[in-house]
Amino acid sequence: MASLALAAGCSGSPNTHPNGDATVPAATATVAISPADGATKVAPTGALRVTAAAGKLTRITVTAPGDTNVPGKVSADRTTWTPSRPLRTGTHYQVTATAQDSSGHTVTQQSAFTTLTPAHKAAATVNVVAGETYGVGMEVEVRFKDPVSDKAAVMRAITVSATPAVLVVGHWFGDDQVDFRPQQYWTPGTRATVHLRLDGVQTAPGAYGTQQQDITFAIGRSQISTIDDRTKQLLVVRDGKLVRTLPGSLGAPGHTTYNGQMVISEKYRVIDMDSRTVGLGSSYNIKDVPHAMRLTTSGTFIHGNYWRPSFVFGNQDTSHGCVGLRDVRGGGDPSTPAAWFYNNSLIGDVVIVKGTPDRTVQPGNGLNGWNMSWSAWTTTSS
C-alpha cells in the first residue's frame, strides 16, 4: 500500500533534492490484488484476481506450502491475471505481483490470504491401487460419495497419463461416477498414472474436493477370453496365442447371460451367493462358491461350480446368468478348470460372451465401457 500511495503522490513528476539533483520518477502503474491482504475463508475458485492500471503486469507469483508456483492466465492486454486452476482448501497463500509503466518503471505489491476449510468434503474413491498390475481391459473408475453438479470442473481436475503415451478420456455414468479408458485396450507393459487434483474443486454447492495425489499402476500381459454359447468352450488367448480351452456353462433359458466385452473387476477365492442380492428372490443361496470373479455390478460372475455334474460343462446352460466352470467346493483342488482360470487371471482381464439370446451388457454395468463406441464415449465425456 505504501508503494501505491507513493505513486499517487508523485503523479509522475520528478522529485528534486535540495542540491538540485533530480531523482528517478516513481512508477505511475498500480497493482491491485483481490482478495484483500489478511483475508480468510477465501473461496478456492473465482476469488483470486490481480489487476494493473496505467501499466502492464510483468510478474506474478502465487505460492503456498505444498502448492508452489500456482499457474495462471494473463489477459491479452496484460492488465489482469487469474489462476488457471482452483487453489487448495485450508491453505495460506502469498501473492507477489509486479507491473511496469510505459517509461519502464515498476511497482510491486504483495498480499496474503487463507482459503476456506470446507464444511462438506466431496470424497472420491478410485478403483486402482498404486503399484498393482492389471489386465489390458482395465478402466479407471472414480466414484464420488455424493452427486457431482459441476462435472466439467471435476473432469478438468482428473487426468490419466501413460507410457507409452495414449489418449485416455473420461466418461460419466450418472452423477457420481466417471470412468477413464483409451480407445483400444491398453498396450501390455504400459505404466499409467491417475492424477487427482480435486483439492479446491467445487463439486456441488458447498462441497469441495480435498484429494491431491498421483496413483501409478501397470498393465500386464494381454489376456482375452471368449466363450460362445454355441460351443460353450472358453478360449483363453494370452498375448495373441490360445493357451487353454475350458468347457463352461452359461445362463439357462429365462436367466440368460449378457453378451459383450466384460472386464474382471473383483476376485474372491470363496464367496457366498444369494439370489436375493440380485433381485431373483429365493432362487438360490449357494455357500462357498469358489474362484469367483465379478464381471458386472448387477451380479454376473465367472466362477467355479461344484453343484453340477461334470458333463454339464461344455454341453448345457444351467446358471442364472453367470459363466460357470467345473470346480470343487471351497476351491481346494488346483487342477480344476475354475482354479486354473482364477490363478491365471488379473483384475482388468477381458471375458467376451457371444451367441446368447440376451442383449449386450450396458457399458456402465461394471468396467464395461468397451461396449460403447469411442465417438459416444468422448462426445459425452464431460
Q: Which residues form the catalytic set? A: 303, 322
Beta bridge mates, 218: 133, 191
- C-alpha grid cell for residue 328? 470343487
**What is the three-class DSSP state of 284?**
coil
Question: What is the C-alpha separation between 287 and 278, in angstroms, rounded?
Answer: 16
**Partner residues linked to 120 by β-bridges:** 207
271 contacts: CB under 8 Å, gap ≥ 6: 289, 292, 303
Cα-based angle 26, 30, 36 (whole degrees, multiple of 5): 135
Q: Which residue has the cell 499402476?
A: 217
**Long-range contacts for 6-10 (Cβ within 8 Å, ≥24 apart)?**
7/107
> Cell 509522475 appears where?
12
C-beta separation of 248 from 352 below 8 A = no
Using the structure block, give the residue that is written with the C-alpha cell 512508477.
27
